[in-house]
C-alpha cells in the first residue's frame, strides 16, 4: 500500500513569511489522508472516503464539518452555491475526488470553492489509483 511521500506532491508554493499557510493543520490532514488511503485503497465512492476522513481527523483532535454550504456572490447578490466536502478548523477547505484521473477543472473547482467561502487554503485529496494531494491558496477574498 502507498505511504505518504517524504515531501508530498505540493504543487503550489504558497508561502507567507517563509512558511506554508496553515502548515501545522495541513500536515495533520495529509497524514490522515494517507492513513485512510492505506486502509481503504482505491475504488470507493467519494462519500466513503469523506466519512472515513472525517472520523480520522476527529480522532486526531481536529474540528471538522461535513457538507458545508457556501454561497457564491456577485456584487453582493447570491448567484450560486457550493458544498464543501470537509471544512477543518473553520479554515481549511477539503475537496475529495476518487476518480481514476484528475481533470484540470478539479483544482479550479477547489480554488473557486476556497475563494467563495472566504477561506485561504484548500486541499484536493485524490483517492485515485495512487494517492495524491494538491494544495491551493486564494489571495483574494470574494466577500
pLDDT tens-digit map of 85-94: 999 999 999 9
pLDDT at 6: 33
Give residue 11's region: left, alpha or beta (phi > 0; psi -120 to 50). Answer: alpha
- At 142 the pLDDT is 45
CATH topology of domain 20-137: Lambda Exonuclease; Chain A (3.90.320)
Per the prediction, the chain carries an average pLDDT of: 84
> Considering only CA atoms, which of 131, 59, 133 is closest in space to residue 92?
133
The pLDDT score that the predictor gives to residue 140 is 60
Total residues found in the chain within this entry: 143
Q: Is 79 helix (H, G, I), strand (E, B) or coil?
A: strand
Region of 76 (left: φ > 0; alpha: ψ -120 to 50; beta: rest) is: left
For residue 67, what pLDDT is reported? 94
pLDDT at site 32? 98
Q: Which residue has the higher pLDDT, 130 or 108?
A: 130
In which residue are the cell numbers 477539503 written? 94
Task: Round to whole Å and give the CA distance between 42 and 72.
Answer: 32
Question: What is the distance between the terminal CA atoms of the chain, rounded to a whole angstrom?
Answer: 42
Give the CA angle between residues 131, 60, 43 to the nearest 5°.
30
* The pLDDT of residue 63 is above 50: yes
pLDDT band at 9 (very low <50, low <70, confident <90, very high): very low
Amino acid at each position: 500500500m502507498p505511504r505518504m511521500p517524504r515531501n508530498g506532491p505540493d504543487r503550489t508554493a504558497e508561502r507567507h513569511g517563509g512558511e506554508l499557510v496553515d502548515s501545522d493543520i495541513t500536515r495533520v490532514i495529509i497524514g490522515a489522508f494517507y492513513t485512510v488511503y492505506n486502509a481503504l485503497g482505491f475504488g470507493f465512492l467519494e462519500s466513503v472516503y469523506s466519512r472515513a476522513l472525517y472520523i480520522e481527523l476527529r480522532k486526531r483532535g481536529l474540528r471538522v464539518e461535513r457538507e458545508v454550504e457556501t454561497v457564491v456572490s456577485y456584487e453582493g447578490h447570491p448567484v450560486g452555491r457550493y458544498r464543501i466536502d470537509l471544512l477543518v478548523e473553520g479554515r481549511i477547505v477539503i475537496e475529495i475526488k476518487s476518480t481514476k484521473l484528475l481533470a484540470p477543472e478539479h483544482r479550479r473547482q477547489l480554488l473557486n470553492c476556497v475563494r467563495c467561502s472566504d477561506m485561504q487554503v484548500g486541499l484536493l485529496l485524490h483517492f485515485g489509483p495512487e494517492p495524491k494531494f494538491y494544495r491551493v491558496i486564494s489571495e483574494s477574498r470574494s466577500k
